[in-house]
């Protein structure tokens, strides 16, 4: 009997390889004759380029080439693509691969140097003298919205996008409400900081006229199309392979990066392999950031704390360019309502240019900000009415019987925002029980009596996951009985080798060890979208199930013919097809695979069984039927009508030091509902990682620019990522409310852990201190300042 694999917490199959150092990351790729690239980057936030003098670099032995904008031609001399256009994005601007005339943030690439190794490339890069005429920089949302200076000369108000969505008449509802509150809620800029930076390796085969590119990317298929377009190559002459990737967290979904087009372009021109692996400082100043938003909230509610109207206006700092469109503020504006019936809702945002690194989605992608706004508002309502914070939430919850629930908004996939399923009251009940909410008043008082300050916070969220348009998968049973699974979306450590194998193994009745999973390799699967928006399990998971289901049906049909029984009477257990109740009437799946591919040549012993004289019967029909294909293989796709919505509740207990204002997390509890779990261990790992990142975003990590647009903390000495010592033990409980939208009933889990972090920790600190916390992240010195301001 094969163990049922779907839902089993089996260990991650990729870990022995990765933990033992046997992974192969971008920078591990080395080839004979390979060259290295380095980049000259702007030290100014905003400047005209007056002159680029490369003569100093020419003295460096080992220098192969120096390129500036003037060397680019054709599509490569055009700005990089606007990946996600939107009607509200009225002034989209994207960078050139190398700056043309002007730089708009510190770190923008100005010249590329190629040399025989990276050391020499950097030496040469340092000798290139660029003369700049500095221009006044625009830094911060206040400066951007005042528009005293412009980031782009032809965008007179620094506004890239402006969008309003409204359900009902929020202004009237708020005006008529018995109670009203106004809140200013800010989230500062941060960055996702994958341990492995970006990187690209390219090799041009002159004889074959083909290009192979390795990239540490979240989308190999779309990068392939982008490269073909930018380099003017036929798509079938370009292949993109994703090696092991040391974290993505959203930043690597952006493509093609300047370096990602320039390195392959140089490889073609120089007829030699070229590699560039980003260093940490480059990642800080030339990849992408996120999170910076300022929200202005007006809410009206009744005596019971029920929401009657909510109006949110916010400013989004999109940095110098908008390659990823309005996705982040769009997600904030649409995910902000969370699990609540809002009454009337109006949301309006302006996305603003600043002379800083561009802003693109980072794990959570606008949701942490939205949840921060909604949950801080809920707490403020509770405080205003003297109600328990969970009671206010309960009174506003969408109820399970109201599902599917249409929020009346348009989501980031261009589809109506309709919650497919979820039991929010049950999730809150579980979280309260897990953290001991009802007993906490006594805990708090007891601590007070000892001179300690402890506080509790709770935050709920709903997360749209698994956005389309589609993913696909190819599943083939080989004549050895091994199963090959290929899907086009990429892997950055999520455990895809494990969960996709579980799904395929379950469908096919084979041991999971027999399944080999390949992701992110356009040679193996060409049609895919990419890994983002907690979509891999939902999208590729269901595609793998679809493909494996077809293979199973075919296996049963062929086995039925071989065993002369009705396929409906067959089952597959441990890789053997047998008649239910008559296990001796059986044929191994490996043999079925042999039979599925009629052969002329007996190249090995097994093949003999499939040659024309071995296969009897049916001499009047073709060996492969008209509607059939050779091989025990199939391709399947999954394309959802719209996103599926996961949800959860986080609760945290913190202690703040009465003197030093140090903030310590005593407990962190998570109730998480992502539908049916493929592998609870992996979901738990995703939650752990997300919470760690949420703690970082709430208490430690932030990107700090000075007024000149210089990034002040571009290293891990000053950008503080929490260690294990700062991440609390995480207590998790799961709810499983299946999604009715996909056959497996699953929802995404990749981002959930990070989403309510700022909201729940702000709430707990506020509870401990009795001081409103309206800006995150918060560090001890800021808490100390809050205390002082409160006393004044």
List residues binding another protein (CB under 8 A): 43-44, 106, 126, 134, 281, 284-285, 706, 708, 710-715, 717-718
Among 413, 725, 714, 696, residue whose Cα is nearest residue 538: 413
> Closest distance between another protein and the C-beta of residue 281, in Å?
6
Q: Which value, to the nearest 10 degrees, does the dihedral of the CA atoms of residues 375, 376, 381, 386 take? A: 100
Q: How far is the C-alpha of 365 from the C-alpha of 533, rounded, in Å?
A: 8
> Closest distance between another protein and the C-beta of residue 714, in Å?
3
132 CB-side CA count, 13 A:
21
DSSP line for 767-780: HHHSS---EES--H
Say if residues 777 and 701 touch (Cβ distance below 8 Å).
Answer: yes
Instruction: Report, in this order, helix, strand and coil percent for the chain, each rounded to 5.
Output: 30, 25, 40
> Closest distance between another protein and the C-beta of residue 706, in Å?
7
173 or 711: CB nearest another protein: 711
106 or 749: CB nearest another protein: 106
Place of tokens 């391709």: 635
> Closest distance between another protein and the C-beta of residue 715, in Å?
4
Residue 45: asked if its preceding bond is cis (omega within 30°), the reply is no
> Closest distance between another protein and the C-beta of residue 710, in Å?
5
251 or 670: CB nearest another protein: 251
130 or 418: CB nearest another protein: 130
The pair of three-digit structure tokens given for residue 409, joined into one six-digit string: 């908004």
85 or 134: CB nearest another protein: 134
142 or 707: CB nearest another protein: 707
> Closest distance between another protein and the C-beta of residue 153, in Å?
22
42 or 635: CB nearest another protein: 42
Over its C-alpha atoms, the chain yields an Rg (Å, rounded) of: 28
The pair of three-digit structure tokens given for residue 723, joined into one six-digit string: 């260690």
The pair of three-digit structure tokens given for residue 691, joined into one six-digit string: 């919470």
> Closest distance between another protein and the C-beta of residue 356, in Å?
13
> Closest distance between another protein and the C-beta of residue 753, in Å?
29
> Could you tell me which residues are beta bridge partners of residue 472?
637
Say if residues 226 and 213 touch (Cβ distance below 8 Å).
Answer: no
Q: Could you give the strand order of the β-sheet that contains 644-656, starting from the edge strand earlier in sequence?
A: 453-465, 644-656, 663-673, 730-735
> Closest distance between another protein and the C-beta of residue 100, in Å?
21
> Closest distance between another protein and the C-beta of residue 80, in Å?
24
134 or 414: CB nearest another protein: 134
Q: How far is the C-alpha of 616 from the C-alpha of 590, rounded, in Å?
A: 19
579 Cβ contact partners less than 8 Å away, ≥ 6 residues apart = 563, 565, 569, 570, 585, 586
102 or 557: CB nearest another protein: 102
> Closest distance between another protein and the C-beta of residue 237, in Å?
39
- Give the DSSP H or E segment for 270: helix 258-270
Q: How far is CA 763 from CA 480, 537, 658, in A?
A: 57, 32, 17
Q: How far is the C-alpha of 777 from the C-alpha of 767, rounded, in Å?
A: 16
Q: How far is the C-alpha of 456 from the C-alpha of 668, rounded, in Å?
A: 10
> Closest distance between another protein and the C-beta of residue 128, in Å?
11
- Give the DSSP H or E segment for 476: strand 471-477
127 or 198: CB nearest another protein: 127
Q: How far is the C-alpha of 12 from the C-alpha of 499, rounded, in Å?
A: 8
41 or 554: CB nearest another protein: 41
Query: CA-based angle 294:361:325, to the nearest 5?
Result: 85
45 or 174: CB nearest another protein: 45
The pair of three-digit structure tokens given for residue 508, joined into one six-digit string: 């096919």
Q: How far is the C-alpha of 724 from the C-alpha of 484, rounded, in Å?
A: 37
24 Cβ contact partners less than 8 Å away, ≥ 6 residues apart = 243, 244
Q: How far is CA 265 from CA 71, 114, 431, in A?
A: 11, 12, 53
> Closest distance between another protein and the C-beta of residue 148, in Å?
18
Query: CA-based angle 219:758:388, to the nearest 5?
Result: 135
281 or 395: CB nearest another protein: 281
């Amino acid at each position: 009997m094969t163990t049922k694999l779907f839902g089993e917490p089996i260990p991650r199959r990729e870990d022995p390889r990765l933990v033992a150092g046997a992974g192969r990351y971008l920078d591990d790729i080395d080839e004979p004759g390979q060259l290295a690239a380095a980049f000259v980057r702007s030290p100014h936030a905003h400047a005209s380029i007056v002159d680029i003098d490369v003569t100093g670099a020419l003295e460096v032995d080992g220098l192969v080439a120096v390129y500036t904008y003037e060397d680019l031609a054709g599509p490569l001399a055009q700005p990089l693509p606007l990946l996600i256009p939107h009607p509200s994005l009225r002034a989209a601007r994207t960078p050139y691969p190398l700056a043309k005339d002007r730089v708009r943030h510190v770190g923008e690439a100005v010249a590329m140097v190629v040399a025989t190794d990276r050391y020499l490339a950097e030496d040469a890069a340092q000798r290139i003298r660029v003369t700049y005429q500095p221009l006044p920089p625009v830094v911060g949302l206040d400066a951007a919205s005042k528009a005293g200076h412009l980031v782009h000369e032809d965008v007179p108000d620094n506004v890239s996008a402006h969008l309003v969505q409204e359900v009902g008449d929020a202004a009237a509802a708020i005006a008529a409400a018995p109670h009203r509150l106004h809140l200013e809620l800010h989230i500062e800029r941060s960055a996702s900081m994958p341990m492995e930076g970006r990187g690209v390796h390219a090799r041009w085969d002159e004889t074959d006229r083909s290009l192979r590119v390795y990239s540490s990317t979240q989308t190999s298929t779309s990068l392939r199309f982008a490269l073909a377009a930018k380099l003017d190559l036929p798509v079938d002459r370009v292949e993109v392979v994703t090696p092991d990737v040391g974290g993505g967290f959203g930043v690597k979904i952006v493509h093609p990066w300047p370096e990602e087009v320039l390195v392959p372009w140089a490889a073609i021109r120089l007829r030699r392999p070229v590699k560039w692996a980003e260093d940490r400082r480059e990642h800080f100043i030339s990849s992408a950031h996120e999170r910076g938003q300022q929200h202005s909230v007006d809410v009206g509610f009744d005596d019971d704390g029920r929401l009657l109207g909510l109006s949110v206006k916010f400013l989004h700092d999109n940095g110098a360019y908008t390659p990823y469109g309005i996705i982040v503020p769009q997600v904030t504006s649409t995910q902000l309502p969370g699990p609540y019936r809002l009454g009337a809702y109006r949301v309006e945002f302006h996305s603003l240019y600043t002379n800083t690194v561009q802003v693109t989605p980072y794990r959570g992608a606008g949701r942490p900000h939205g949840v921060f706004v909604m949950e801080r508002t809920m707490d403020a309502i509770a405080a205003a009415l003297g109600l328990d914070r969970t009671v206010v939430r309960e009174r506003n919850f969408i109820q399970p019987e109201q599902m599917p629930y249409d929020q009346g908004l348009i989501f980031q996939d261009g589809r109506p925002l309709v919650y497919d399923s979820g039991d929010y009251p049950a999730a809150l009940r579980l979280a309260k029980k897990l953290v001991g909410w009802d007993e906490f008043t006594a805990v708090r008082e007891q601590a007070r009596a000892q001179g300690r300050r402890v506080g509790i916070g709770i935050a709920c969220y709903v997360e749209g996951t698994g956005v389309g348009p589609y993913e696909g998968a190819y599943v083939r049973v080989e004549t050895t009985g091994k199963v090959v699974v290929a899907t086009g979306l990429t892997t950055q450590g999520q455990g895809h080798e494990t969960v996709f194998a579980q799904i395929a193994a379950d469908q096919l009745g084979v041991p999971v060890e027999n399944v080999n999973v390949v992701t992110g390799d356009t040679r193996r699967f060409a049609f895919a979208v990419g890994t983002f928006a907690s979509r891999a399990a939902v999208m590729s998971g269901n595609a793998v199930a679809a493909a494996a289901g077809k293979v199973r049906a075919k296996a049963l049909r062929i086995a039925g013919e071989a065993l002369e029984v009705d396929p409906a009477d067959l089952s597959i257990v441990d890789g053997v097809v047998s008649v239910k109740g008559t296990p001796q009437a059986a044929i191994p799946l490996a043999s079925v695979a042999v039979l599925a591919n009629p052969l002329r040549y007996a190249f090995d012993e097994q093949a003999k069984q499939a040659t024309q004289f071995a296969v009897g019967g049916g001499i009047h029909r073709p060996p492969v039927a008209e509607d059939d294909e050779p091989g025990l293989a199939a391709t399947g796709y999954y394309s959802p009508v719209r996103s599926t919505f996961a949800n959860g509740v986080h609760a945290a207990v913190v202690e703040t030091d009465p003197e030093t204002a140090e903030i310590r997390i005593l407990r962190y509890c998570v109730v998480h509902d992502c539908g049916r779990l493929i592998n609870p261990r992996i979901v738990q790992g995703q939650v752990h990682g997300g919470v760690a990142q949420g703690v970082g975003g709430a208490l430690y990590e932030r990107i700090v620019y000075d007024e000149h647009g210089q990034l002040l903390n571009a290293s891990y000495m000053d950008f503080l990522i929490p260690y294990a010592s700062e991440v609390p033990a995480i207590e998790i409980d799961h709810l499983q409310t299946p999604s009715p939208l996909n056959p497996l009933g699953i929802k995404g889990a990749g981002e959930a852990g990070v989403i309510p972090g700022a909201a729940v920790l702000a709430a707990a600190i506020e509870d401990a201190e009795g001081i409103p916390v309206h800006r995150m992240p918060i560090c001890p010195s800021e808490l100390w300042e809050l205390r002082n301001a409160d006393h004044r």
